[in-house]
Structure 1
């Protein structure tokens, strides 16, 4: 099956594009059951946050992608992220826009939920990459989080042996929430056995920080030029690079989600990190629908056609 999303129809007057994304083979059983037995009540979603970490490079804007085992609703190859935890609602030192302002940006009235999504985003980024969006005041950002002590803290937070809040407060750190930008809101399709209600954020890699895999987790993660990933989206280039049994030999659409592909397209269209983060964007919600064409299944998504950040991912 062709791994490139199929353009189904375009509405020029609205700038919307209706597209069909091929369904990964790991989801075919769930899709077939959904179709065979008729529509049922979808499984409950778990709220989640994901952070699109970006930086400039001579070849274009890069983003940090990693392998996620176990058929994650975020995709087998995806951005750092995960589901909300109860501790994410706790009070935490905070620098940046107020909860009220973030509530408006995210379109969420419950400010406890707003806090949880933002804390989750920064916590998951720290656990999975070691990148920490925190400082001692509104102008500082912690540096060089690469020591063995920091790795042990990441492991403790990931294993829930220590709370993220306690790790920060003990070191006099507060969240630099102003370094996050809201991107979009994606809800897993109804047929899926595991479903996320995910808020995507973007952040630039802080100075004197560098991502790394969580010790003992193994897997794969790397900086990838967004435009290069898309240029080879119909090949198994990225899947072979990730090197996992459920990614090798498969094109981009078969190893990730429409959310990741759409975000990669926006990154590839920008002039650079500053331009991408500076875009004033309307926060859109997406809920892919399952459609069957012959014997094949696709995810039906309507996206916008506009480029972000001035267009042109290279030669800035």
Structure 2
């Protein structure tokens, strides 16, 4: 009589699909036209996409669903329609990708709350360190605390008299991890231009290095295997490489596949 095979902990099909959001942060190339994209080269110990070159982002967390403050830009219903998801998830994804971008790069897509700003002061561009009045962008300690899971984005912005700049983001694509890996994600891809005055850094433990790279060079490096990339990253990079500049990219209409790819 044969001995029965031990039961597996879970079948590949039973792996839960988690919500995630990522953003391709771009700027105009310094020379030669086209644009540059901010890439993170992940450490080899990550549970997902270990060692791969990726855009900033991560899982959408329960705290991203807590926000209720209005933002500047399209309403959650608009984002929900573009991505083919419900309104609550769309709102959480916009908050989540903004939070992840701040945690991982220091770039905060926020600006003074127009309802509280002193109308006699000049407008301040998002990303600059000093804001109208006595308000300032959150500091390094607050960034680290948010990254450690303390608090939520809406509360942090409210404490500084800021509102989320959703108008700086664009919905771009949606991909779902196929069956097989021990972790699966339904990932919403955004695109955003680096706000004037902001600087992206490598202050995340998830990356061994970060860099600005021409989108066409990054696409070539991924295609030839010089940089490890998952297919969604490479696919988005191909879109970025086709744009003449950031303005053209942001004006490009997008039709996102219902249910993702």
Same fold? TM cut 0.5:
yes
SS at match of 2:25: strand
- Superposed, which structure 2 residues align to 1:234-249 within 5 Å? none
Q: Name the counterpart of 1:263.
A: 236
Which residue pairs with 2:27 in the alignment? 55
SS at structure 1 position matched to 2:13: coil
Deviation of 1:162 (Å): 3.0
Answering whether residue 80 of structure 2 is matched by residue 103 of structure 1, we say: yes
2:48 aligns to what?
72
Q: TM-score, normalised by structure 1?
A: 0.67
Aligned residue among 111, 127, 131 for 1:143: 127
Give me the CA root mean square deviation: 2.5
CA shift at 1:219, angstroms? 2.1
8 Å CA contact retained: 1:130, 1:145 = no
1:191-270 matches, cutoff 5 A? 191-214=180-203, 219-233=208-222, 251-252=226-227, 255-270=228-243
After TM superposition, the structure 1 stretch with the greater mean CA deviation from structure 2, 143-152 or 54-63, is 143-152
1:128 aligns with 2:104: yes
The answer to whether 1:41 aligns with 2:17 is: no
Note the alpha carbon deviations across 1:268-287, whole angstroms, 9 max, x for none: 11111010111111012554
Deviations 1:109-138 (A, max 9, x none): x21111111101111011100111111147
Distance 2:159 2:221 in 1: 46
Distance 1:80 1:218, change over 3 A: closer
- Secondary structure of 1:95's counterpart equals coil
Aligned partner of 1:82 among 28, 43, 58? 58
Deviation larger for 126-135 or 154-163: 154-163
- Please say if residues 64 and 223 of structure 1, whose CA atoms lie closer than 8 Å, have aligned partners that are also in contact: yes
Offset at 1:100?
A: 1.9
Q: Number of matched residues?
A: 232
Once the 2 structures are TM-superposed, how far is the Cα of residue 215 of structure 1 from its aligned partner?
6.3
Partner of 1:307: none
Task: List gaps (5 residues or longer) in structure 2.
Answer: 1-10, 115-122, 131-135
Structure 1 residue 47 displacement after superposition: 0.3
CA distance in 1, matches of 2:145, 2:125: 22
